[in-house]
Amino acid sequence: MPGRLGGLGWRLLVRVLFFSSVITLLLTLLQLYFDYRRDVQAIDLRMSEIDSVYSRSLGDGLWRLDARQLRLQVEGILHLPDISYVELREATDRAVPAPFVVTAGSRQANAPMRREFRIIYADHGPEQLLGILVVEATFEPVYRRLVDTAAVIMVSQAIKTFVVSFFILLIVHRLITRHLTAIATSLRGYDLRGSHLPLRLARHSPRPADELDGLVGAFNQMYSGLQAAYGDLREREAKIRRLVDSNIIGILIIDLDGQIIEANDAFLRMVGYDREDLVAGRVRWTNSPPEWREADPARVEKVKTTGALQAFEKEYFRKDGSRMPALVGVARIEEAENQAVAFVVDLTERKRAEAELAHANRVATMGQLSASIAHEVNQPIAATLMNAGTALRWLARQPPNLEEATQAVEHIIKDGKRAADIVSRIRNFSKNAPAQNGDLEINEAILEIMTLARAAASQHGVFVKMQLSEGLPPIVGDRVQLQQVILNLIMNAIEALSEVGEGSRELLISSSEGESGGVLVAVADSGPGLPHTNPERMFDAFYTTKASGLGMGLSICRSIIQNHGGRLWAMPNQPHGAVFYVMLRTREKSLENLESSEA
Ligand code: ADP
């Protein structure tokens, strides 16, 4: 079967048949037209010949009125091709009652061609009209011939067209359609996963290569290109899969409205949810403690406008309601307007280690302070003892002086409160309580910690000056941690001041509004000052210049301040010494600054 019905071959066949039929028809009509003209001209010519050939002998016959000869001649004319009727009539101007008439053939009502010839006799004397010859021709044989011609042309053309078309069909099938069908069949079996031999046609390739070779070549080239691209894609996919499945960090695909579209096991493990919760939409990235959610809208805006967020810290709620501190980075997915990929690192362990370290540092600081604190507590106790003796003496008087005794007891109460206050400060400070990020007045916190630091300062002969600005905005943070930082800076300053022999040992603690709207705390001393080369290394862990130093203080202070979104740095003091600055964010500032500082 050379190709299926409706296939290319058949459609070609139908078109060839149609066009050749139309052309055959037109050519046939043209041919018939010319045949017709030629035949009609031939009849016309014959009529003229009749005149020139017969008029003389007919004139003779009429002159002699030779009826037999005239009849013979008339019938002779009738026998000429296409002549259907001949009539010879004697001219009527001669006074003959019944003119002589000879007819042959049958007269038609509407003869397509009719001629009348005058028969003149000019042999004797002047010309004389002897009679009229009427000749009629019929076109019927012409028409019959035309029909025959048409039939022959039609039949022969039809046969030729069919035969040619069939061969065209066969040739098209052999040259094209069977290959196209074979190509289609084998292409169906191709996919990008397996390895396939290049596509080949079942034929001897012609020289030079034809369009089919071009097609096959193009396909093979495209296929190997696609395979290479697919291989790259799979390799990339495998790498990304490896990253996601390694479950070292949490990876999410999120919708900026809050939905988590996809999450790896690592993330689910971190927040204690399972895959079912994820599918049911119970895990949302907005599921954070309120103080951490305030920054979300600004972050979403930033992802939308800049396409990415630098790593930032936040907290998520676990399924059991506990908090998970995390480091998060976000990058928008280019192809999807409202989607992004987020990387989440669980900071729980790190935060715990940091908290432990910070706690150890507080305990160590307390140890450092123990002598001066003992002195500080000793003072009210000594005063109490003294006042108790005084009170006893006033009571032993006769009569007892109640007024003086009462006053002494009031002193006892005051000193007892003072001692209790110091002890409770120490306890609070040394406790390992979880951080609390509330609003807090920095001046209050500074004054509170000074009750512990003052004793150390006075023990080392350091003169402490305070310059606390009024009306500072509250800052966000953990009181104990911020006090720890300030106490560390004060202790460092006192130690630095102890190194300078004689001379003024001055310590200035100030608070003020920072340039960028935060709150700035400065601890300035008149000690030996910062190391000359690379003062930044003071903040490195284990950097110390002290015989019994650990070198952890400033590094812990810096990480506490950074966790609060603030900054800790040092500058030389004038004329000598060092100033340590702590810049803290107020609540409004911490949201406002998000865009600029996290960029
Ligand atoms: P440590 O006090 O155990 O040495 P720190 O991290 O608190 O650890 O301090 C690191 C170092 O920074 C100190 O050893 C000291 O050399 C330097 N340093 C800290 N504060 C001051 C200061 N106010 N003046 C001069 N140097 C200081």
**C-alpha 500 to ligand 1 mean position (Å):** 14
Residue nearest to atom 14 of ligand 1 (CA): 544
In the reported structure, the alpha carbon of residue 544 is separated from the centroid of ligand 1 by a whole-number distance in angstroms of: 6
Q: Is 578 in the pocket of ligand 1 (CB under 6 A)?
A: yes
What is the structure's pLDDT at 329? 95
**Ranges of each domain in the chain:** 8-144, 201-243, 246-346, 348-434, 436-599
d(CA 495, CA 581): 18
Query: What was the pLDDT predicted at 595?
Result: 44
Tokens standing for residue 119: 């028969």
Instruction: Give residue 419's pLDDT.
Output: 92
Cα(116)–Cα(6) distance, integer angstroms: 64
Tell me the CATH architecture of domain 436-599. 2-Layer Sandwich (3.30)
Structure-token pair, residue 48: 């003229």
- The pair of three-digit structure tokens given for residue 443, joined into one six-digit string: 């001046």
- 496 CB near ligand 1 (under 6 Å): yes
- For the purposes of burial, counting CB atoms within 10 Å of the CB of 526, is it exposed (0-12), middle (13-18) or buried (19 or more)? buried
DSSP secondary structure of 81-115: TTEEEEEEEE-TTS--SS--EEEEE---SS-SEEE
> Ligand 1 centroid vs 539 CA: distance in angstroms?
8
The 10 Å Cβ neighbour count of residue 189 is: 8
Q: Which atom of ligand 1 is nearest to the CA of 580?
A: 23
Q: DSSP state, 586?
A: B
Q: Using alpha carbons only, what angle is made at residue 283 by residues 277 and 284, rounded to the nearest 5 degrees? A: 160
Please report the pLDDT score of residue 94 as a whole number: 55
Nearest CA to ligand 1 atom 12: 538
At residue 570, the pLDDT reads 97
User: Which residue stretches of the chain have pLDDT < 50?
Assistant: 1, 594-599
What does the alpha-carbon distance between residue 568 and residue 583 come to, in Å, rounded to a whole number?
Answer: 6
C-beta of 545 in contact with ligand 1 (< 6 A): yes
φ, ψ of residue 139 to 5 degrees: the values are -95, 0
For 373, other C-beta atoms within 10 Å of its C-beta total 22
Q: Check residue 599 and give its pLDDT.
A: 36
CATH architecture of 246-346: 2-Layer Sandwich (3.30)
Beta bridge partners of 328: 312, 344
CA–CA distance, 424 with 420 (Å, rounded to integer)? 6
Cα–Cα nearest to 61, from 93, 83, 90, 94: 90
3-state SS track over 371-440: HHHHHHHHHHHHHHHHHHHHHHHHHHCCCCCHHHHHHHHHHHHHHHHHHHHHHHHHHHHHCCCCCCCEEE
Is the CB–ligand 1 distance for residue 538 below 6 Å?
A: yes
pLDDT score recorded for residue 598: 43
> What φ, ψ does residue 249 adopt, rounded to 5°?
-125, 160
- First-to-last C-alpha distance (Å) of the chain: 73
**pTM of this structure:** 0.61
